[in-house]
Structure 1
């Protein structure tokens, strides 16, 4: 998740889009998908600026409005810092405190958010048109070497745990590690304990062996919450068809992300997202595909200042190896033609226009994730 504090003006996006690249030029809006507001929709990695800004920040009203407009029933939100080797007692304490801080933010906005602890809470969020926040960590670093911390974090509200981020940790290899070493012995202990504590295992960011071995180690279905298809874009953050098929065969779900990884070069758009969704449908079947945007809800105001700062950020990510060398730094992490809070509804309309049934779209938007969560949580 990237913390964004800037917001969009629709006219500004259209002007920049048409000027910077003709592929972004305004096109006819797809028809709205009528069942959306009655659908249980889940973003398998997302967030809101409310978790990062102070209560009196001027951006609060816009962030709250985005929560009202999105139409989501659930968002998996990553509480623990990702990509850091946080193994110290101080880091453990800070993670516990951050969980409590985020719960306090949810409590300040009960009209638009609620904490999800079980499947009944997901249904409640849908019924009351609130966004259910599902706590996850992007990496097992807060556990240190102590699997008992899994139960402690569960008591606090953790319901999904992603085993690795991009790098290697004590559990296994992330996708950016050339060694592709898979799950460690400790990793197998962690998966076993997650199953016992009824916490969903997420294998996003895993190396191929980590993903395969994680799927096989778990006694219940797992997620690859935010990813894409390596058959379409051969970069490490994507997942090979073999692992996608194994995931589906064992009941799991893969969420298609919105990031530039969806194509080897150039700016990703809704067309790339749909391309990956449709490929995953062919490989996995309609019961095993979802969406994990890896984006905050609030749309981005694409000002010249934002473009400048964003380019520098992408250059830094290329330098850190998050994106491969040679990648064009003039990219947005989001798809410019889905730069609105209600992006799921827009995408659903696009899928419908391509002939996908209402039942299939409902599964992709969140029904498949809800099935796995219900099975694991009990």
Structure 2
């Protein structure tokens, strides 16, 4: 029998049991309209290449999303092992509980909560063989060669380090390999995207960026303010990532990034990941949020900075993502909408990019049907990210 999360313990006795969202079939499958030859080519490309999601949460949430605060207080999010095995992905940048990490209180980003989350997830992984923790390029190559899935642990903000720079070393030692600067609200490092006054990167933030470079921590500016993002790109000696966002020129909201920030990421040698969190990466051509909306952002960024700097970080999970935003809206503040911003129809889920299992099969299909070459698709699926990670993690 395949391993289920925390299978070394007894549910209901060692930890509270919840009815969790399914790993398959929560919503109808995406109708991609591919011809047989296109589907065959997409399947081959997905099978033969290293496939990396720059940002996802490959865990199961409660079927009733309102139970998530209680579920997270157990300190245990349940990895979707069956869903990952069927995903075609080689590596997932897994950002754990992040802004929902309210294990010991009602606000996220506590140091103890983050350490609990990081340790608990790895305790679970240690009891199975299908999913590994990625700490270097050799681990990625091993996962691809053996058909395993690698989880590369990250945080969407460095808020938990407070003003203690050595905590970056601690997180790295515990397996973290990617970290954001700020998550919407400002912290000791810099401003988040929801701040009224954009103060940019602080002096402490510059010291932190230098330490991240020296450690080999990939830096993410997805939730940072525009000025903070530009300051990070100027300060970093290694590639910078925007793991999950989109282009403001396509959809004018704070959560999307302006052209100067997108160009700055590319100029570091970094990579821009397309997000699909509900009601974020919309477009005027496709205001109802589906994979087609996300592809509009992808194509814009390809034209702006070149295909070698673009990838996908869908930011999906197993469960009702729209419901999650409802439950944690006061904490997440994702910046999907702004007063006076463009209006759009609400959706129950993003068709074609609803969960980590289906994402890359559908992405690959869209890339094939949109006329991209095999080499271009291989670069977007993982090659671009590998190139940037090599420069981040090669500490010479």
Q: Shared topology, TM-score over 0.5?
A: yes
SS at match of 1:374: helix
For the Cα contact (< 8 Å) 2:246–2:257, is it kept in 1? Answer: yes
Matched with 2:329 is 317
SS at match of 1:108: coil
Matched with 1:280 is 301
Q: How does 1:92-111 map to 2 (within 5 A)?
A: 92-111=111-130
Pairwise CA distance, 1:83? 7.5
Distance 2:120 2:134 in 1: 16
Matched with 2:49 is 39
Note the alpha carbon deviations across 1:12-59, whole angstroms, 9 max, x for none: 627xxxxxxxxx8x56246321221111111111122269879xxxx9
- Gap change, CA 1:8 and 1:28, over 3 Å in 2: farther
Which segment drifts farther, 40-49 or 154-163? 40-49
Where do 5+ consecutive residues of structure 1 fail to align? 15-23, 301-305
Q: How does 1:184-333 map to 2 (within 5 A)?
A: 184-259=202-277, 260-263=279-282, 266-296=287-317, 298=318, 300=319, 310=322, 313-314=325-326, 317=329, 321-322=333-334, 323-324=336-337, 330-332=346-348
Note if 1:73 corresponds to 2:90.
yes
For the Cα contact (< 8 Å) 1:319–1:325, is it kept in 2? Answer: no
Distance 1:71 1:166 in 2: 31
SS at match of 1:40: coil
Note if 1:82 corresponds to 2:123.
no
Pairwise CA distance, 1:345? 1.9
Where do 5+ consecutive residues of structure 2 fail to align? 1-18, 63-70
Pairwise CA distance, 1:154? 0.7
For the Cα contact (< 8 Å) 1:288–1:368, is it kept in 2? Answer: yes
Number of residue pairs the alignment of both structures matches: 348
Matched with 2:33 is 28
- Gap change, CA 1:64 and 1:11, over 3 Å in 2: closer
Note the alpha carbon deviations across 1:259-287, whole angstroms, 9 max, x for none: 22112684311111111111110111111
Cα RMSD (Å): 3.2
Matched with 2:371 is 355
Distance 2:164 2:202 in 1: 14
Distance 1:250 1:325 in 2: 30
**Alignment TM-score, normalising by the size of structure 2:** 0.79
Q: How does 1:145-164 map to 2 (within 5 A)?
A: 145-164=163-182
Pairwise CA distance, 1:138? 1.3
Q: How does 1:325-344 map to 2 (within 5 A)?
A: 330-332=346-348, 334-339=349-354, 341-344=357-360
Q: How does 1:165-184 map to 2 (within 5 A)?
A: 165-184=183-202
